[in-house]
Structure 1
């Protein structure tokens, strides 16, 4: 019986490592992390970025595996986590759209030359409003 548990544990560990490696390779291919480092001019803290990415991946995996575990940190922690998760998803979505050249094509066809940052802000605010509507109305329960 214990051999089955050891085998399942090793299979889960290797599968998780493969998925995590693919995810991090995808993020690097999209140039998200190097671009954020370049925009914030914090290249001297590259080791901190690497450590936080790895710890975030490990922490996310642990939380997703042990969902029944309760973390009594309150609503403030939940809000901070929600903001960080939303920023992450937003960065991935915008980077993917940029890699696929979605924004340049749309802006060229609509002849938009100025105010691109305003459009991006409204896209982010729309995504935030939609997420808030979804969770406040508890649409995930239905």
Structure 2
């Protein structure tokens, strides 16, 4: 029984490591890290930024897995939410640029000017949807 549990634990740990590596490779491949470093002009600290991204993902997973609460209350959660939102927004925009979906969208709806308003509307809609989901617990 102990060997079975040990084997399942090792397999689960390895599978989680492979999935996490795939997610981080995807983030790096679509250029989120490079774009963030270019926008913040911190090219000399690229290793530090990458280390913090990996540490944040790892610590976030550990906190989620073991139910660890983050000390500091509302201000810390506000900063965490802001940072997470910025990162997810950068991830989504990098993916959209990689797939060239915005130029296709603008050609299909014949939008000559004002693409920034379409992007803003998508971001606001995503924010309102997340707010409704997390504060009411309902999808609609």
What is the TM-score of this pair, normalised by structure 1?
0.82
Q: Name 1:6's counterpart in structure 2.
A: 6
SS of the aligned residue for 1:23 comes to helix
1:47-66, aligned counterparts within 5 Å? Answer: 47-66=47-66
Q: Name 2:23's counterpart in structure 1.
A: 23
Provide the aligned length of Structure 1 versus Structure 2: 140
Q: Name 1:100's counterpart in structure 2.
A: 99
1:29-108, aligned counterparts within 5 Å? Answer: 29-67=29-67, 69-108=68-107
Q: Which moved more, 1:77-86 or 1:42-51?
A: 77-86
The CA RMSD over aligned residues, in Å, is 2.3
Cα distance, 1:5 vs structure 2: 4.1
**Whose relative contact order is higher, 1 or 2, with alpha carbons under 8 Å and at least 6 apart?**
1
Which consecutive aligned stretches of 4+ in structure 1 deviate over 6 angstroms post-superposition? none
Query: Do the aligned partners of 2:63 and 2:69 also contact (CA within 8 Å) in 1?
Result: no
Q: Name 2:134's counterpart in structure 1.
A: 135
Aligned-partner Cα distance in 1 for 2:134–2:61 = 23
Q: Give the unaligned 5+ runs of structure 2.
A: none
Q: Name 2:125's counterpart in structure 1.
A: 126
Cα distance, 1:138 vs structure 2: 2.7
Q: Which moved more, 1:88-97 or 1:29-38?
A: 88-97
What is the TM-score of this pair, normalised by structure 2?
0.83
Q: Give the unaligned 5+ runs of structure 1.
A: none
Per-residue CA deviations over 1:39-60 (Å, capped at 9, x if unaligned) read 2221111021111011012112
Query: Do the aligned partners of 2:33 and 2:50 also contact (CA within 8 Å) in 1?
Result: no
Aligned-partner Cα distance in 2 for 1:15–1:35 = 29
Per-residue CA deviations over 1:66-91 (Å, capped at 9, x if unaligned) read 12x33343122222222222223222
